[in-house]
């Protein structure tokens, strides 16, 4: 085992299962926070500040101390802007308008986006199998977006879905841009300090709103969602993901991303039955067809490009 941390195969599989469940909770409980806060900006800032505080506390303890050059510190500022004002804000803005199952499916496209962007940067042409996977995955996305369907509910879903797709694109750009820095330094430290700088970048954007909003109007479900986003998503999921990458190949860890859509659907149905998620969850024929096409396309891309990582949201 790497880094002197011995883990059995069973323990690793349990950790992967825990990561999948935490991710499903991110989409479902994050939805409650997204609709419960007055706007996505204040929620993004509250989430990022909470995570930054925890990461600063555990830096030098659970996380190694940073050892970046001056130029690398400047890069981290750019990474932080990609992660928080662009990725997290767009994700939460989209989640306000769409249902939890859609973002889970779109984030499963991360390895596909990383492959395409990496190939473009290196001027490499993807294989025929990869191209067929891309086409199939895009067909699945089209089924989810349903541009041919009218109606207020579907239009609202499309608005949220497009925001989430923008968030996925920002995460893909971060993954490719930060790959060299993550090779030279512990990726946990790179991600942690990127999130810290991202939180600082959000203060001028949403600091006033966060200070002046009516806290009494925020429901207990929204506060629970915020706590989940801070502790489970921004801290525990990040640490679990990096621990998995120390013991398994990226293709093996990619199962975590691929398993998120069906797990999120199951959790959404369960919590909707309990009344935690009000309204329709858009789990009709086109969603199931879109999920099938998208996941098959992602599997084809991963099978033809085993070195491409499938990073978490």
- What would the pLDDT profile of 162-173 be if each residue is shown by its tens digit? 999 999 999 889
**Calpha distance 131→304 (Å, rounded):** 10
Residue 237 and residue 60 in contact, taking contact as beta carbons nearer than 8 Å:
no
Give whole-number Cα distances, 55 to 51, 63, 251, in Å: 6, 8, 27
Q: Residue written as tokens 């499309």? A: 158
Joined together, the tokens standing for residue 123 give 């001027």
Give whole-number Cα distances, 268 to 15, 26, 90, 199, 229, in Å: 22, 11, 21, 29, 17
Question: 55's torsion region: left (phi>0), alpha (psi -120 to 50) or beta?
Answer: alpha
- What would the pLDDT profile of 38-68 be if each residue is shown by its tens digit? 999 999 999 999 999 999 998 888 888 888 9
Handedness of CA 285, 289, 292, 294 (dihedral sign): negative
**Calpha distance 41→20 (Å, rounded):** 26
Which residues fall within 8 angstroms of residue 224, CB to CB, at 6 or more apart? 29, 32, 33
Give whole-number Cα distances, 160 to 94, 156, 167, 263, 313, in Å: 4, 6, 11, 20, 16
Global pTM reads 0.87
pLDDT, tens digit only, all 313 positions of the chain: 444 455 677 888 888 888 889 999 999 999 999 999 999 999 999 999 999 999 999 888 888 888 899 999 999 999 999 999 999 999 999 999 999 999 999 988 887 888 888 888 888 777 888 888 888 888 989 988 888 888 888 899 999 999 999 999 998 898 888 888 887 888 888 889 999 999 999 999 999 999 999 999 999 999 999 999 999 998 888 778 777 766 765 556 666 777 888 999 998 888 888 877 777 888 888 889 988 998 888 888 777 665 544 444 4
Residue 55 and residue 63 in contact, taking contact as beta carbons nearer than 8 Å:
yes
Nearest residue to 256 via CA among 192, 191, 302, 290 = 302
Residue 173 and residue 29 in contact, taking contact as beta carbons nearer than 8 Å:
no
DSSP secondary structure code for residue 59 in this structure? B
């Amino acid at each position: 085992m790497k880094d002197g941390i011995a883990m059995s195969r069973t323990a690793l599989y349990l950790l992967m299962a825990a990561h999948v469940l935490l991710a499903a909770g991110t989409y479902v409980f994050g939805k409650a926070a997204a609709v419960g806060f007055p706007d996505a900006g204040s929620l993004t800032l509250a989430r990022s500040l909470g995570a930054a505080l925890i990461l600063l506390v555990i830096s030098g303890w659970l996380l190694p101390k940073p050892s970046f050059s001056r130029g690398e510190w400047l890069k981290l500022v750019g990474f932080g802007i990609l992660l928080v004002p662009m990725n997290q804000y767009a994700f939460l803005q989209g989640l306000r308008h769409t249902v939890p199952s859609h973002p889970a499916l779109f984030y499963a496209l991360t390895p596909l986006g990383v492959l395409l962007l990496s190939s473009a940067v290196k001027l490499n042409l993807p294989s025929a199998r990869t191209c067929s996977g891309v086409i199939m995955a895009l067909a699945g996305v089209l089924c989810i977006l349903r541009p041919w369907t009218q109606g207020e509910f579907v239009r609202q879903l499309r608005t949220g879905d497009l925001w989430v797709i923008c968030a996925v694109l920002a995460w893909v750009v971060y993954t490719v841009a930060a790959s060299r820095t993550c090779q030279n330094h512990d990726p946990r430290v790179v991600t942690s300090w990127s999130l810290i700088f991202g939180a600082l970048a959000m203060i001028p954007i949403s600091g006033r709103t966060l200070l002046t909003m009516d806290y009494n109007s925020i429901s207990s479900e929204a506060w629970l969602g915020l706590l989940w986003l801070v502790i489970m998503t921004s801290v525990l999921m990040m640490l679990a993901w990096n621990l998995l990458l120390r013991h398994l190949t990226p293709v093996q860890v990619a199962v975590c991303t691929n398993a998120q859509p069906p797990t999120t659907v199951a959790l959404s149905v369960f919590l909707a039955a309990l009344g935690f998620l009000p309204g329709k969850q858009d789990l009709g024929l086109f969603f199931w067809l879109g999920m099938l096409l998208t996941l098959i396309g992602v599997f084809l891309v991963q099978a033809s490009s085993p070195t491409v990582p499938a990073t978490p949201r």
